[in-house]
Each structure stands twice: as structure tokens, then as C-alpha cells.
Amino acid sequence: MVAAMAQDNEHMAGEMIQRGTIASVDYENLTCTVTIGDLTTGELPWKSPSVGGLRIWCPPVEGEPATVLAAEGDLENGQVLLGDYSDDFPPPSRLPNVVHIQFPDGSTIIYDHEAHSMALTVAEGTLAITASGGVTITAPVTITGDVTITGNVTVTGKVEASDDVIGGGKSLKGHKHGGVTAGGAQTGAPV
């Protein structure tokens, strides 16, 4: 009898943690089903990395590896853990000093804490920054591409342009002045 109970307990413990793959996802109800061998579970909640003050929405996708935790082997009341790498879902980096977040479209956020370097790449599309209190950048800044500013610009320091500056339709380099006379007279306004 004792041997049978030990065997039952061992069998039950083995069924408490089962590995499989995500079969379907219900984003509205925050549940998914998991295929474990020939069995597909009912709808089970998945565990999020954080749901308190910091809330992260990172739902599973079909085919993703998953682990089902089922108390006493009861799959009807299990919970799904995500995060097992596989051949189909390899890690985006293997560097120990890098935090690398990769999105399905190829966009990435990479921080190398050893080099103190962060890179944000949007593979396609746009990047919007909204800050009601303003944005302060304390660093040399290089921009490659056209810049459009809606609003006033205040500069403390020198402004240099390799080509020309146009203000009110007037070229700084090529504008002409009328009313030019010899001597100490002032020229007229640009024309």
C-alpha cells in the first residue's frame, strides 16, 4: 500500500509541471490553450512578467513553448508560464551584458550595460515621444534627415549652415539691398 501511494504521489508530482506549445490565444479573456503531447488543455490564464505598478502586455503567440503548472496535475485549473527558448523561438541575443527586446516586425531596444550604450530601432514606421513637461537632451546630437519644427526656436550660441539660411523667403547668402549709396549711409531692407 505504501509503495502504491508513493508511486501515485510521484505520478501526481510529474503531472504538476508539463511542457507544451501554445495552441490558441484569447486576447480579450487573457487565456490560452496549450498542446501537451496529444492533449490540448482548456482555456488557461498565462502569467505576465509584471501586473502591479509596472504592467507589461506581452501575450503569447501560437506555437510558442509553454509550461503548464497544474496543482495535483489538474490541468483544468492550471496556469501557463511562458519564456522557454526553442529552435523556432531563439533568444535575440546571447550576450551576458545586453538586455535585448525584439518585436515581431524587427524593431529592437538594446541596452549594453557594460558599454553604457542604448539603441532603439524602429524597423518600419514612426516613433512618437510625448512628454507634457517637455523633453531635455543633455548630449551632443546628430540628426541625419530633414527636420520640421512647429513653434519657435531659441538658440543660445552660434548657428552655422553649410548652404544657406532662408527667412521670410529671403536668402541670407543671396539677398540684395536697395538704396545703396556711397559713404556712411545705411542700405535699404533686403529685396
CB 32 within 8 A of CB 24: yes
92-150: pLDDT as tens digits = 999 999 999 999 999 999 999 999 999 999 999 999 999 999 999 999 999 999 999 99
Of 104, 22, 106, the C-alpha closest to 67 is 22
Q: Per the structure, how many domains does the chain have?
A: 2
12-71: pLDDT as tens digits = 566 899 999 999 999 999 999 999 999 999 999 999 988 888 899 999 999 999 999 999
Domain boundaries, position 118 = 91-144
Is residue 109 situated within a structural domain?
yes
152 grid coordinates: 519657435
Is residue 54 situated within a structural domain?
yes
Helices (H), the chain: 2-16
Q: What is the CATH number of the domain that holds 24?
A: 2.40.50.230
With b for 16 or more beta-carbon neighbours within 10 A and e for fewer, the 11-42 pattern comes to eeeebeebebbbeebeeeeebbbbbbeeeebe
Is residue 184 situated within a structural domain?
no
Distance CA 172, CA 159 (A): 13
Beta-carbon contacts of 67 under 8 Å, excluding residues fewer than 6 positions away, are 17, 18, 19, 20, 80, 81, 84
- Asked if residue 50 and residue 74 are part of one domain, the reply reads yes
Strand residues in 70-165 grouped as ranges (E): 79-82, 98-102, 108-112, 117-121
pLDDT at 50: 86
pLDDT at 41: 96
Is the pTM higher than 0.75? The answer reads no
